[in-house]
Amino acid sequence: MSSHSAESLSGDEGGLGFHRGAIDSAMITTKPPSVAMKNVTEVLKGMGVNIEVESEFRYRCVREKKERLSSQDGSNAVAPRQSPPSGNPANDPGDEVVFSVELTRLARLNDTYSVDIRRLKGKLQSYKFLYDTIRDRVKLGP
């Protein structure tokens, strides 16, 4: 059991769980949880990712499949409307990806948090593109 009690947590981190698994040092922050999640939310919205808020510090996200237009000549042209981000087709087939984004606490490190992103559905290749893009765009440092 954790040595932290609900009373010892600041109001900002009462709903945070503890991080489990490997740590990505680029996804660690000492910013207050509300500030870190605001930053993550802005990045996700800027990328055109659909966000479903499951709790204050946990989101279920969907990057929709890149739409294609069928044409008379048989080519698959990409739809001209604003579409969710996708990478080079060799690195990202543009498939739908469902993933979770959660802010967690690091055990025994006060006021240190991790943004955990986990793939729930979709091709690994497409997920990796999204993870790397989020990692590059989110500014978690001081």
Contact between residue 27 and residue 11 where contact means Cβ atoms under 8 Å apart: no
User: Would you say residue 142 lies in a domain?
Assistant: no
Q: Which of 40-44, 65-69, 75-79, 110-114 has the lowest mean pLDDT?
A: 75-79
Q: What is the pLDDT of residue 51?
A: 96
Give 64's DSSP letter.
P
Q: Strand runs (DSSP E) across the chain, as ranges?
A: 17-18, 28-29, 50-55, 58-63, 68-70, 76-78, 97-105, 113-121
User: Would you say residue 26 lies in a domain?
Assistant: yes
If one counts the domains in the chain, the total is 1
Decide which of 130 and 5 is more confident: 130
CA atoms within 13 A on the CB side of 33: 22
> Mean pLDDT throughout 108-121?
94
What the block records as the tokens of 82 is 């604003």
User: Would you say residue 3 lies in a domain?
Assistant: no
Decide which of 31 and 76 is more confident: 31
Q: What is the pLDDT of residue 33?
A: 95
Q: Which amino acid is at 25?
A: S
Task: Assign residue 106 the CATH number of its domain.
Answer: 3.30.310.80
| Interval 71-107: pLDDT, tens | 455 544 444 344 556 666 677 788 899 999 999 999 8
User: Would you say residue 9 lies in a domain?
Assistant: no
Dist CA 79 CA 109 (whole Å) = 47
User: Would you say residue 8 lies in a domain?
Assistant: no
Averaged confidence pLDDT in the chain: 80
Dist CA 46 CA 44 (whole Å) = 5
By residue range, what is the domain housing residue 99?
15-137
